[in-house]
Every structure is written in structure tokens, then in C-alpha cells.
Amino acid sequence: MCKKLRELVEEERKEAKQEGVKIGEERGEKRGILKGKIETLMKILIKRFANENLEWVKECNEEQIEKIEKNIFKEISYKDFYQLVHS
């Protein structure tokens, strides 16, 4: 391989690595934000539904988290709340 071609390949590798790091950082940030939301919601839900098993909340996806946030203060039973989040 000629010197110029090696330099181009090396430059592409560096750029690809930087892009990979950037993507990883963005994913990590999103996960951190989601984890923080879940922790906050768990605190509220534990007070609201003290006698219920809420471990399922830790496995919720972003859409379900949004449903929890939207409906957490509605005056509905735990069963209805659970069904609403999972619908």
C-alpha cells in the first residue's frame, strides 16, 4: 500500500472511531436520563401505590415512561394505571 493510501485509511479509521465514541456518549446520556426519570417516578409511585410491586417500572421503555408521567396523578386504581401504561 502506498503511503498516501495508508494515510487516508488511517484518517478514516480515526474519524470512524470518533463517530463511534460520539454515538456511545449519546446513547449513554439517553440511558442516564431515562434511568433518572425512572428513579424519580419510582419514588412517587411507591408513595402512591405503597402496597404494590412496582419492579416492572424499571423495565419500561420510553413510551411507557411517557404514559406514566402523563397519568401518574390521575385518580385511578393501580390495576387501571398498570393497564394504561401497558396498553
Return the percentage of the chain with pLDDT > 90, whole number.
Answer: 64
Instruction: List pLDDT tens digits, range 19-58.
Output: 998 899 999 998 899 899 999 999 999 999 999 999 999 9
- What's the 3-state SS for 10-59? HHHHHHHHHHHHHHHHHHHHHHHHHHHHHHHHHHHHHHHCCCCCCHHHHH
Q: Specify the length of the chain in residues.
A: 87
Model confidence at 1: pLDDT above 80 = no
